[in-house]
Structure 1
Amino acid sequence: MSSEVKKLIHKYMPDSPMSRFGKIFTDSTEFMSIDYSDVMKLGNEHFLVLKNEQERRFGLVDPKYWVKRVKHLESGQSQILKLAFYETFPMHIGPFEIKCYRSPRKEARILDLVKGDMRFMQGYSKDDTAGNNVRVLDIIRGKRLDVVVDDIPVDHKTYFHEYFPDILEKFINACEAISFLHSHDEKHGDIRRDHLWVESGTGAYRWIDFDYAFELYENPFALDIFGLKSILVYLVGKANLTMQTLLELRTENSILNTLNAGDYSVVIGNRVVNVKKIYNYIPNSLNNILMHLSSSSSVFYESVDEILVDMNKSLKEIRSL
């Protein structure tokens, strides 16, 4: 089999320095067996596997063996293959437990829906010979939004007045993209700040990873809404404002002593969402949006469009300061 791979490499990549040639796979069911120098064949297309992608969260590196960085041999383009991987797990929001699961075909539907809409990652899907849905994704060159925000080398007050208005405006556009999904009865399913990327060159905000789904019949879009609000809290605070973070920022004890249980997130209990208590120059119109995520709130947003109305009003106020 390696001789077939060798012929493919020499045909499409004659200057390649590769000395190891793997196997050709047409069935991706055993995705952990597919590794560097192997070729995944989908129809008449061939994808040379270069490495497994990794996810970095909480200071840890977690290999994603079902996500492969590849070279599309026919075009020479670097791409990502997401192979079919199924898992089910519970998510807790306050007292509620929500069943979440991966759905490759749900992600494939969204890729078709958002084709040409550069607010989202782009790609297409094909089935392998075993019927597994494989998504072929274009690579977004850029950085995660939270990394971009964290790297802005200024104090919070300067950040809020000089950088945040433009960030909020672009985030509003990203929220409109999620509203577009909802209007077509689709949900992102895994809205986190590391799933919103800032594209190099264009500065565009682009959503990635749509394969999570969840069962929540009372409001099928609730997790997406919670995710958007959690990102907004991060953007306003320029950090996850936990007690540890506040101590590292040398926040005055007179401020810390005012915090109570109602100032923290109902989703992630150690994160402060009443950011105005920390930075008193934040306008009420913005802080009120954040407080919808607090454990003390009895009213929650029912749709992304409701958040958009309040964010647009607040943006006008912030730009007039």
Structure 2
Amino acid sequence: MTDTNTISRDEIIDLISAHADADRVPKKFKVITDTSDFFRVDYNDVVVLNNIPYWVKRYEKEGRFGIDDQPKYWVRRAIDLTSGATKILKLVFHEKFETKIGDIAITCFRSPKKEARILDLVADHERFMHGTWCLDRAGNNIRILDFIYGRSIDNIITDQGQDHHDYFHNHFPALLHDFIELVKAISFLHDHGEKHGDIRRDHIIWDRKRRLYRWIDFDYNYMHGESMFGFDLHGLGNILTFLVGRGDILVADLHKHQRALFDTLWGEDLNISYKNRVANLAKIFPYIPESLNRILLHFSQGATIFYETTHQMLDDLAVAQSDVARQTGRSQ
């Protein structure tokens, strides 16, 4: 998977001409084989990897830490000029930050090698993004990802149902089925000694072509203590809480609009990491089955027992799924 390039600039121009109108063929562009300085990669440049030219277009964006649409200059959408397929090029960017679960500090960092390793592992698994990787001329590990056409799960569920009762009884059972399949996919990683590393709701995409939800973006790694998979499990708990609540149930909103419910809350009812979010959702929506709410309480301030493996969580989810089906009359 090392880089070997022999394609000429004239050949690249011919390939661009085959995929674009004459007036869209750029008069000036760089042919890049060393992506070390990803800020040098501009719109209409061509990145050549393993002798395949990728015509660079926009950079991708992502919301993180409450900030929407942060540009990711190291993640570029591009056209594979040999096939016309849209790809995502993930260039090397070393980032490190610290987060907390309760009082436990966790150091997270980007690892291109780890993401490349997982891409090889999940190449035949339908619940993950797919792609390849190679080293550019300078030895940078570049991931070349198949573009998934679809929306993230958080942008989908808030449109479902007239209200929470309608959503929970008519839409949530199918979402719970999909969520369980996604947890099984993470279990597949864990069983192979790997972590996703950045489990968030906007990293689950509904693939319109395949008609299923898929995990994306697993280049984060984290330094773990006794629990290798604890951070992944915490992410799964946050997503499940979001799905059950049809969005985040915020303390400030309850205080402003539903004061009677707000007055029933204690500190132990709140999310272990996000103290402005309610984890004990049965206090807000009393029709939530106890077995389902018990799972959510594993991720609350009042939790004394935590999941150590996805298999433990899946066992509880199976019971909750049966109870949800019994209550709603819908298995999925």
Q: TM-score range by the shorter chain?
A: over 0.9
**In 1, are the aligned partners of 2:161 and 2:171 still within 8 Å (CA)?**
no
**In 1, are the aligned partners of 2:53 and 2:81 still within 8 Å (CA)?**
yes
Residue 115 of structure 2 corresponds to residue 107 of structure 1 = yes
Q: How far apart, in 1, do the equivalents of 2:223 and 2:246 lie?
A: 32
User: Which runs of 5 or more structure 2 residues have no equivalent in the other structure?
Assistant: 1-7, 328-332
Report the AA paired with residue 203 of structure 2: H
Report the AA paired with residue 265 of structure 1: N
Q: How far apart, in 2, do the equivalents of 1:76 and 1:4 lie?
A: 15
**In 2, are the aligned partners of 1:262 and 1:296 still within 8 Å (CA)?**
yes
Task: Out of 3-12 and 284-293, give the one that drifted further.
Answer: 3-12
Q: How far apart, in 1, do the equivalents of 2:23 and 2:323 lie?
A: 56
1:289 to 295, 312, 317: 295
Q: How far apart, in 1, do the equivalents of 2:44 and 2:304 lie?
A: 55
Percent identity of paired positions between Structure 1 and Structure 2: 42
Aligned residues: 319
| Structural mapping, 1:121-270, within 5 Å | 121-246=129-254, 252-270=258-276
**In 2, are the aligned partners of 1:2 and 1:21 still within 8 Å (CA)?**
no
Residue 96 of structure 2 corresponds to residue 78 of structure 1 = no
The Cα of 1:19 is off from its aligned counterpart by 3.7
Report the AA paired with residue 204 of structure 2: L
1:50 to 49, 52, 57: 57
Task: Out of 151-160 and 124-133, give the one that drifted further.
Answer: 151-160
SS of 1:142's equivalent? coil
The Cα of 1:253 is off from its aligned counterpart by 2.4
SS of 1:280's equivalent? coil
TM-score by length of 2: 0.92
User: Which runs of 5 or more structure 1 residues have no equivalent in the other structure?
Assistant: none
Q: Tell me the alpha carbon deviations over residues 66-100 of structure 1, each in whole angstroms, 9 at most, x when there is no partner.
A: 00000000011111000011111111111111111
Q: How far apart, in 1, do the equivalents of 2:28 and 2:102 lie?
A: 51
Q: How far apart, in 2, do the equivalents of 1:299 and 1:288 lie?
A: 11
**In 2, are the aligned partners of 1:119 and 1:174 still within 8 Å (CA)?**
yes
State the partner residue of 1:316: 322
The Cα of 1:290 is off from its aligned counterpart by 0.2
**In 2, are the aligned partners of 1:37 and 1:49 still within 8 Å (CA)?**
yes
The Cα of 1:157 is off from its aligned counterpart by 0.5
Q: How far apart, in 1, do the equivalents of 2:124 and 2:20 lie?
A: 29
| Structural mapping, 1:89-100, within 5 Å | 89-100=97-108
SS of 1:265's equivalent? coil
Q: How far apart, in 2, do the equivalents of 1:221 and 1:174 lie?
A: 15
SS of 1:119's equivalent? coil
The Cα of 1:291 is off from its aligned counterpart by 0.3
Q: How far apart, in 2, do the equivalents of 1:315 and 1:86 lie?
A: 40
Task: Out of 252-261 and 54-63, give the one that drifted further.
Answer: 54-63
The Cα of 1:217 is off from its aligned counterpart by 2.5
State the partner residue of 1:280: 286
The Cα of 1:15 is off from its aligned counterpart by 5.3
**In 1, are the aligned partners of 2:26 and 2:44 still within 8 Å (CA)?**
no
SS of 1:233's equivalent? helix
Q: How far apart, in 2, do the equivalents of 1:125 and 1:280 lie?
A: 48
